[in-house]
Amino acid sequence: MTDPVPPKSVFSPARVEAEVARHQTSSPQTEDPAYRLAFQDLEFLLRQDLRPVRFQLELLKPELLLDEADIASTFVFYGSARIPEPSKADALIQNAATDNQRRIAERLKAKSHYYDEARSLARLASRVGRDADGKQHFVVCSGGGPSIMEAANRGAADEGADTIGLNIVLPHEQLPNPYVTPSLSFQFHYFALRKMHFLIRARAVAVFPGGFGTFDEAFELLTLIQTGKIKPVPILFFGADYWRRVVNFEALVEEGTISPNDLELFQFVETAEQAWDHVCTYYAESDIQLDC
């Protein structure tokens, strides 16, 4: 005689309860919104008062799905949504209508090689195998959009690896790029929750030339490490000329607003190989087997 196996719960699953609720007899009482199950009532969930609940749901949903996919750590890619793939860079210049547009298009073309570097770095990161517990490490994670984000997800897809996209609802439509693993393609309403998910599993971060969004993400990361809120990770700024032109880091030290040691929180690199070598050196003492 086998030992009895108790049920996981004595309560009916919420899915079953929801199905029963849909088939109740219609009456003035059952048709009123007040009678809806709270988790089926979209108008209720979207009330201003429910914002804390929506925060919690937006934090919890990706967390559960990433756990179920056995993703233990990620390699995060930040960067512009405007830098073109090299093969498409000339089209930007040809479509320029003014001298100023042409100058900007030429500058974007000059940065187009970073698309290839992001793709190459993602390939290297995606060759890291699972650990003894079957967990995935250095899974490529991007904002899920075009340009540098697309290149990162594309590099992982080249290796047949899972890759994450964290999209955000914007006034202008931004669909996930086609290289994101569908079951790991998430959409966020709150920037704060999206940025938290970028960093929860991050064990290395590549920062490519970008604008306000890239600045926001990269400098929040630096602030969190500077203030001891999170442990240090390799932070790799691609393109020293670009970053030193748009941010005078040394001036921040000279003005006394950051300390000289803060400049050691990140490294300037130019190629995927340089970036990956730095990550390998950083984690040389870990149990994770990197293909270096």
Determine the Cα–Cα distance for residues 75 and 283; give it in Å rounded to an integer. 13
The pLDDT of 82-101, averaged and rounded, is 94
Q: What are phi and psi of 214, to 5 degrees?
A: -65, -40
Q: What is the secondary structure of 96-151 as a DSSP string?
A: --SHHHHHHHHHHHHTTHHHHHHHHHHHHHTT----TT--B-SEEEE-SSSTHHHH
Domain map (residue ranges) of the chain: 70-282
The pLDDT of 119-139, averaged and rounded, is 96
SS3 19: helix
Six token digits for residue 172:
């202008």
Determine the Cα–Cα distance for residues 91 and 130; give it in Å rounded to an integer. 41
pLDDT digits 0-9 by tens, 189-227: 999 999 999 999 999 999 999 999 999 999 999 999 999
SS3 237: strand
Q: Is the pLDDT of residue 113 over 80?
A: yes
* Beta-carbon count within 10 A of 254 CB: 11
Q: Which CATH architecture has domain 70-282?
A: 3-Layer(aba) Sandwich (3.40)
Q: Is the pLDDT of residue 50 over 80?
A: yes
pLDDT digits 0-9 by tens, 177-193: 999 999 999 999 999 99
Residue 289: pLDDT band by 50, 70, 90 thresholds? Answer: low
Residue 4: pLDDT band by 50, 70, 90 thresholds? Answer: confident
Q: Spell out the long-range contacts of 277-282 with Cβ–Cβ below 8 A and sequence spacing 24 or more.
A: 278/234, 278/236, 279/75, 279/125, 279/138, 279/204, 279/234, 279/236, 282/204, 282/234
Q: Is the pLDDT of residue 7 over 90?
A: no
pLDDT digits 0-9 by tens, 269-279: 999 999 999 99
